[in-house]
Structure 1
Amino acid sequence: MSQLAANPIPFSEPPYLCGLPSPYYTPAHRRFQTACRQFMWDNLLSHALEYERAGEVPAWVYDTFCQHHMLLPNLGAPLPVDWLKRLGIHEILGVKVEDWDYLYSGIYFDELSRSGLAGVGASLNAGFSFGIPPILNHASPAFQERFLPDLLTGRKRCCIAITEPAAGSDVANITTTATKTADGQHYLLNGTKKWITNGIWSHYATMAVRTGGPGPAGLSVVLVPLQDHRGVSMRRLRVSGQRTGGTTYIELDAVRVPVGNLIGREGDGMRMIMTNFNHERVSIAVGVTRQARVALSSAFQYCLKREAFGKTLMDQPVVRHRLAQAGAELETLGAFVEQLLYQLCHLPKDEADRKLGGISALAKAKAGMVLNECAQCAVLLFGGAGFTQSGQGELAEAILRDVPGARIPGGSEDVLLDLSVRQLVKLYRAEERKLKQSKI
């Protein structure tokens, strides 16, 4: 795993790492990929399965990633260059921060997921991927001065807290309230947040709350102190996959938060949340594609050596058929995701949010479906070993348990499939109106 194999197992690597030509990746991208793979192996992935069994990644791993600025790639592209240079951060594994693009981000998310286990990466990156971007994109300069130096360097950790027991993908119906005190200086927060990745380790949560009436217009986003803050209680949740992700249940009982912790304006929360989802969904799609590669290629390798009925599994036509079906889905997904990353490199952010929001939702939904196909294929081909949490099929079994974590968070699959088409219809009608107006 630490080095790229001279002859990789089929389906184990994207085509550009199998010696095939690609229009996307420059020599600089390839140098970063090599350095990133080695860093991930040395500092995380060589012990990923061991950490997953234990249910937690050691704290020193997070510190090491922060010391080498290796959580900053989770912010997406472009990076906040001015802020990073103010903090003395000029490059990431040899890549100048001003040169960072979404293809570098894609390489990073791909390599972070190369163990096949989503939880080990999720244990580190939720704050940088989803909690910090709303502050960078919507908070006032004064707000940023207060919080970004500690958050961007990892001295303080944060998470994103949107989901509630009765409001997951239905963001507009969030019920956690933030009511101003009589003097107007603080919000009092009451409610619950559930399935919050990294919450248990976080100092802050970038939290969706209701400051106004019902529906999306009543939502705002507030940075809420968590650890040892009065009225906040947290406990870890046991989930079927991503055991190292620190999934957390947060209860808020008259939690006092300064009004200065409001990100952006009151009532603007829905827009912030929905645009923030675009980056989240792209990052999930990339990582999930790699998980699918790990699952399918591990089964492929097993079938080359495992014998049954007097010949290897690979000599059985039915086995080859299963591998081919899953492999076709996987390579189609890989091409889709690479194309999306390239488009993100060449569109301004506001245009990308508008034109690619639906496509990003579709990519994330498709990735979950493909992971399910590849993970089920792997477990079936491993047979009894794929049903066992040890031995040759342990990784395939663990990846199959991770599948719901790909299909539900970031917007559940059916919601995203519907959203993608609604967004495409909206874009089509907007262009149709422009064409009609141009003919008048």
Structure 2
Amino acid sequence: MTAKPTVPFSEPGWLTGLPSPIFADSHRRWQAAIRPFIDTHLHQHAITWEKAETLPPHVFSDFAAANMLIPALPAPLPVTWLKRLGIHTLLGGLKVEDFDSLHGVIFADEMARSGLAGPPGSLTTGMAFGVPPIVKFGSEVLQERVLPALLKGEKRSCIAITEPDAGSDVAGITTTAVRSGCGGFWIVNGTKKWITNGIWTDYATMAVRTGPPDSGAAGLSLLVVPLMHQPGVTMRRLKVAGQVSAGTTYIELDDVKVPLENLIGEEGMGMRYIMTNFNHERLFIAVGVTRQARVALAAAFEYVLKREAFGKPLVEQPVVRHRLARAGALLEGQSAWVEQFGFLMTRMEKSEADRELGGMTGLLKAQAGIVLKECADTAVLLFGGNGYTRSGQGELVEMLHREVPGARIPGGSEDVMMDLAVRQLVKLYKAKTKALEASSKL
């Protein structure tokens, strides 16, 4: 039986029947197992929930009950912890110890298939970005207190780094944490802004300044700060253009008491921990944004196949085909790059990947936003007035176009990521050159 053809650009090649040197049978089984669940529990309601600006509470619980928040964590998963909690397998029978970075790439891709970042972001952002530093660097005491509830989805997390005057410039953070007179608490004061998921978060993995005001990156630490119903914490939602249902939040902290043992790892090591976490965050973002670009371009392609103008379908107009081709070339190149990153991370040790791929992960994330802009622009222009209308057949395209800035700014703004990539490449090149010169003198 011949498989039903897919709209051009609607799926990566490996999901259209083409052979792949990257994805193995376990990856194909995983994708086939999770797509129906995500479609049923998320995507078929995504537009409605995004317009309502909030997902119903049961959605988070449904995903948690099915262990469908766990795959947002970086590979390898915290197997010992998961098995302690009775979590031995994920959907489709995938053993938690067999979960690799490509399984994670597939999960992030499938979660973004509605084209909207808000609904999936409202579910996974805390697990993807807030929990990993606790898993990697948290003390045994801290992990025992917070990880069981976070991993089981009984409590929610977020990552709280950005401030009104410190976005991509993490070293400029001014929120302070000082020891109390009794020595048993950190007293936290400051503000955090544009914090995804913050409004319904129990624990924030928060960047704070424990060193002097002029200590820069060396004075930063990471702290698990209780938020929900915590004295001294005030939160309000921010109105943003896209990803509305993800719960972007402004947080004010006024003499908030945090147990001393809530420090993640060592004092003054916050910047190092943040940078380690950024690699997973930026790859996760890049995968989702690349799928958003695919949704936009596929919608445009499907539309021009049926829409007629000047007496013939739009797709018969050379200028239309040229626009689709230009966007499609960018998209497929980006998609292949994302897959390559996932593959490399299954073959490299974490420390090696952090060193060799850190700068390029920032570039991957930046390029994803550029590709989304091209595909979203193409979709709006080809949909014409329908793509500029917040209802009807161009509704999703119009919503997607508003999400472009949300892909190009969070997780490190585009220009900063490009500069970071080149600086990291130069640094790496010089280090390797110096090492080679030293070895030649032996």
Q: Do Structure 1 and Structure 2 share a fold, with TM-score over 0.5? A: yes
Q: Cα offset for 1:371? A: 0.3
Matching of residues 158-169 of structure 1 within 5 Å: 158-169=157-168
- Asked if 1 retains the 8 angstrom alpha-carbon contact of 2:236 and 2:250, the reply is yes
Q: Which residue of 2 aligns with 1:349?
A: 350
Instruction: Give the secondary-structure state (helix, strand or coil) at the position aligned to 1:91.
Output: coil
Separation in 2 of the partners of 1:341 and 1:27?
16
Matching of residues 14-413 of structure 1 within 5 Å: 14-93=12-91, 94-213=93-212, 214=214, 215-413=216-414
User: Which amino acid is the alignment partner of residue 240 of structure 1?
Assistant: A
Separation in 2 of the partners of 1:340 and 1:386?
33
Instruction: Give the secondary-structure state (helix, strand or coil) at the position aligned to 2:403.
Output: helix
User: Which amino acid is the alignment partner of residue 173 of structure 1?
Assistant: G
Q: Cα offset for 1:308? A: 0.6
User: Which amino acid is the alignment partner of residue 357 of structure 1?
Assistant: G
Q: Cα offset for 1:423? A: 0.7
Deviations 1:269-293 (A, max 9, x none): 0001111000000000000010000
User: Which amino acid is the alignment partner of residue 313 of structure 2?
Assistant: T
Separation in 2 of the partners of 1:90 and 1:16?
28
- Asked if 1 retains the 8 angstrom alpha-carbon contact of 2:196 and 2:247, the reply is yes
Deviations 1:169-225 (A, max 9, x none): 000000001111112111111110000000001111000000002200010011001
Instruction: Give the secondary-structure state (helix, strand or coil) at the position aligned to 2:80.
Output: helix
TM-score, normalised to structure 2's length? 0.98
Q: Cα offset for 1:19? A: 1.1
Separation in 2 of the partners of 1:347 and 1:143?
29
Instruction: Give the secondary-structure state (helix, strand or coil) at the position aligned to 2:385.
Output: helix
Q: Cα offset for 1:18? A: 1.1
Separation in 2 of the partners of 1:69 and 1:210?
35
Instruction: Give the secondary-structure state (helix, strand or coil) at the position aligned to 1:165.
Output: coil
Separation in 1 of the partners of 2:34 and 2:74?
16
Separation in 1 of the partners of 2:77 and 2:395?
37
Separation in 1 of the partners of 2:401 and 2:174?
33
User: Which amino acid is the alignment partner of residue 154 of structure 2?
Assistant: R
- Asked if 1 retains the 8 angstrom alpha-carbon contact of 2:208 and 2:223, the reply is yes
User: Which amino acid is the alignment partner of residue 209 of structure 1?
Assistant: V
Separation in 1 of the partners of 2:79 and 2:64?
17
Q: Cα offset for 1:82? A: 0.4
Separation in 2 of the partners of 1:437 and 1:406?
43
Q: Cα offset for 1:53? A: 1.1
Pairwise CA RMSD? 1.0
Separation in 2 of the partners of 1:110 and 1:76?
14
User: Which amino acid is the alignment partner of residue 181 of structure 1?
Assistant: S
Q: Cα offset for 1:21? A: 1.0
Separation in 1 of the partners of 2:323 and 2:393?
19
Deviations 1:201-259 (A, max 9, x none): 11110000000022000100110011111000000011000011000000001111111
- Asked if 1 retains the 8 angstrom alpha-carbon contact of 2:141 and 2:261, the reply is no
Alignment gaps of 5+ in structure 2:
none
Instruction: Give the secondary-structure state (helix, strand or coil) at the position aligned to 1:85.
Output: helix
User: Which amino acid is the alignment partner of residue 17 of structure 1?
Assistant: L
Instruction: Give the secondary-structure state (helix, strand or coil) at the position aligned to 1:283.
Output: helix
Q: Cα offset for 1:6? A: 2.0
Separation in 2 of the partners of 1:68 and 1:18?
27
Alignment gaps of 5+ in structure 1:
none
Out of 6, 9, 13, which is 1:8 matched to? 6
How many corresponding residue pairs? 437
User: Which amino acid is the alignment partner of residue 167 of structure 1?
Assistant: A
Greater CA deviation, 102-111 or 141-150? 141-150
Separation in 1 of the partners of 2:17 and 2:299?
20
TM-score, normalised to structure 1's length? 0.98
User: Matched residues, percent identical?
Assistant: 62
